[in-house]
């Protein structure tokens, strides 16, 4: 089994401060944060190590912050870091509503205090057949969902990203409809591996990585990890998802990492880890099968891709 208790490595030892380029300023005084000056990230305090971490080597901060998919900030991998200042995170709020007993609009301070912060070193696999290992900081999404108390009709969780048409790409320029939308089945969203994420490498998320709050589901392809979330809705039916709406023949609702189901334009059987030249075999569920395979018992994963 590949998921083991994380070794007691300090985040500062994973990569040097010198490498931490293109970082962001947090514009809200949130509990557990030390605010930094312009262009700098803020340290997240009181973070415990998580038993869900992999012991694989971690990619550098430069890898993680300069090679990104974030179409609102540009369609090339380098664009999001270059255009990171276009994302404004002042007075951030996340509205959680729909089929729940306690709909709530959370400010960032409320959200970050909802549950203890953990560092989880997760493998990430992008649908374009590259991968990366990153120490993310957050807590299980289930903590937020339990706080709003989904009712018996709730079967899915719908997510929506912040969108500012005055400062971000238009839908026509980005080639996808904005705001960005994603969704999970409720049981997937309640799984402890699903991480509501506020930081990486010991500090707050850079804008290009989805500041100030995003989703990480490490057994799914990276585009399911919606960035800069500001709306969450509990719903009864499968919600619309941006890439499935854009091209349903290539992108399905489940988007589980599956080396046996190729993308129509490239193989998914192998991948290239950022920073490496050789390719490696892709693992079913990105190596998290022991934890999540039971969610899909009886489901044909070739048809439900």
Q: What is the 3-state secondary structure (H, E, C) of the chain?
A: CCECCCCCCCHHHHCCHHHCCCCCCCCCCCCCEECCCCCCCCEECCCEECCCCECCCCCCHHHHHHCCCCHHHCCCCCHHHHCHHHCCCCCCEEEEEECECCCEEEEHHHHHCCCCCEEEEEEEECCCCEEEEEEEEEEEHHHHHHHHCECCCCCEEEEEECCCCCCCCCHHHHCCCCCCEEEEEHHHHHCCCCEEEEEECCEECCHHHCCCCEEECCCEEHHHCCCCEEEEEEECCCCCCHHHHHCCCCCCCCCECCCCCCECCECCCEEEECCCCCCEECCHHHHCHHHHHHHHCCCCCCCCC
Give the β-pairing of 130-140 and 270-273.
Answer: parallel
Tens of pLDDT along 161-183? 999 999 999 999 999 999 999 99
Tens of pLDDT along 103-149? 999 999 999 999 999 999 999 999 999 999 999 999 999 999 999 99
Mean pLDDT of the chain: 90
Task: Report how far Cα 201 is from the mean position of its chain's Cα atoms.
Answer: 14
Q: Which pLDDT value is given to residue 40?
A: 66
Tens of pLDDT along 83-96? 999 999 999 999 99
pLDDT at 21 over 50: no
Distance, in Å, from the CA atom of 262 to the CA atom of 269, rounded to the nearest integer, reads 7
Tens of pLDDT along 178-228? 999 999 999 999 999 999 999 999 999 999 999 999 999 999 999 999 999
Question: 232 forms bridges with which residues in the sheet?
Answer: 96, 159
- Across 263-274, average pLDDT: 96
Q: Tokens 């990105």 map to which residue? A: 286
Domains of the chain by start residue, with CATH: 13-296 (3.90.420.10)
pLDDT at 60 over 70: yes
């Amino acid at each position: 089994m590949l998921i083991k208790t994380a070794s007691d490595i300090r985040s500062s030892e994973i990569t040097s401060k010198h490498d931490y380029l293109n970082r962001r300023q947090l514009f809200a005084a949130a509990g557990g944060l030390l605010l930094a000056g312009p262009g700098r990230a803020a340290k997240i305090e009181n973070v415990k190590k998580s038993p869900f971490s992999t012991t694989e080597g971690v990619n550098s901060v430069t890898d993680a912050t300069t090679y990104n998919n974030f179409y609102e900030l540009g369609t090339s991998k380098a664009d999001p870091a270059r255009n990171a200042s276009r994302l404004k995170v002042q007075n951030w709020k996340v509205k959680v509503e729909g089929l729940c007993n306690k709909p709530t609009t959370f400010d960032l301070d409320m959200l970050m205090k909802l549950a203890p912060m953990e560092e989880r070193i997760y493998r990430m696999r992008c649908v374009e057949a590259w991968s990366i290992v990153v120490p993310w900081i957050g807590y299980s999404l289930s903590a937020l969902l339990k706080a709003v108390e989904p009712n018996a009709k709730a079967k899915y969780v719908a997510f929506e990203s912040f969108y500012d048409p005055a400062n971000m790409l238009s839908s026509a320029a980005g080639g996808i409809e904005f705001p960005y939308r994603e969704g999970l089945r409720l049981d997937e969203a309640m799984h402890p591996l699903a991480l509501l994420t506020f930081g990486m490498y010991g500090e707050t998320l850079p804008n290009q990585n989805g500041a100030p709050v995003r989703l990480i589901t490490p057994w799914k392809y990276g585009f399911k990890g919606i960035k800069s979330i500001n709306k969450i809705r509990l719903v009864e039916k499968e919600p619309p998802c941006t890439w499935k709406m854009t091209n349903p023949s290539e992108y399905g609702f489940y988007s589980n990492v599956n080396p046996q189901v190729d993308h129509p334009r490239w193989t998914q059987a192998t991948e290239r880890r950022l920073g490496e030249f050789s390719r490696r075999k892709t693992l079913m569920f990105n190596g998290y099968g022991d934890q999540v395979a039971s969610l899909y018992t009886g489901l044909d994963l070739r048809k439900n891709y």
